[in-house]
Amino acid sequence: MSENLIYLLSKDEQRYYHLVTLKKGEILYHEDDVCREIGIVMEGEISISSYSYHGEEIIYNLLKENDIFGNNLLFSSNPHYLGNILAKKSAKVALIDEKSLLFLLQNNQNFLMHYLNIQSDFSKRLNSTIKLLSFANAEERFLYYLFLHNNQLIYTNVTSLSKALFLQRETLSRLLTRLVQENKIKRNRHLITLMKN
């Protein structure tokens, strides 16, 4: 878990952010609102979500303590939120506007280094997701995802794993059953391990 950016600010620098408290279900920003500040989750859980044509909620990202949002939109040529920023649990979020962020990046080297680290990690995760989606074959996609997790995957349930893999639950369930039968993976409760040939 990365260090919270707010904890890297001096006492004088703490005036460059403001804290908002959200109740469960409260929307901080709506889809298509203009992003004017970054948000740093201090407590709770925030989701970035939208709705399909049929009214089903699509969660793009689930953010927990120390995670940030808006950082990839703030300086974008099209800085509009692609989904609602909503509190999945009661939450506290620190907000830093563009002018304040630029000041902190220029004047606090430790803050700058951690911010760049967060940006780099995000880009790496995004590239991994793009590569994951490039596998049209469900088995190749699953095995690549397993490889990204050092061939040993801890998961909550098949539904959450299918969402992470961008696969239908039924497709993944059949695939896991087949891979176990073919002795390609071992499955124990919430742990999947790649079997060595």
pLDDT at residue 2 above 70?
no
**Domain at 135-194: CATH architecture:** Orthogonal Bundle (1.10)
- The arithmetic mean of pLDDT across residues 174-178, rounded, is 94
Region 54-79 average pLDDT:
86
Q: How far apart are CA 59 and CA 61, in angstroms?
A: 6
Mean pLDDT of 111-127: 87
pLDDT tens digits for range 10-39: 999 999 999 999 999 999 999 999 999 999
pLDDT > 90? residue 96: yes
Residue pair 67/100 in contact (Cβ under 8 Å)? The answer is no
pLDDT surpassing 90 at residue 183: yes
Residue 28 tokens, joined: 């901080």
Q: Which fold has domain 5-131?
A: Jelly Rolls (2.60.120)
Question: Cβ(68)–Cβ(3) under 8 Å?
Answer: no
> Which residue matches tokens 């709705």?
51
Rounded CA Rg of the chain: 20
Q: 131-168: per-residue pLDDT in tens?
A: 888 888 999 999 999 998 899 999 888 988 988 888 88
- pLDDT over 70 at 197, yes or no: no
Average pLDDT value for residue range 58-70:
85
pLDDT at 1 over 90: no
Mean pLDDT of the chain: 90
Does residue 51 carry a pLDDT above 80? Answer: no
Residue 194 binned pLDDT confidence (cut-offs 50, 70, 90): very high
Residue ranges per structural domain of the chain: 5-131, 135-194
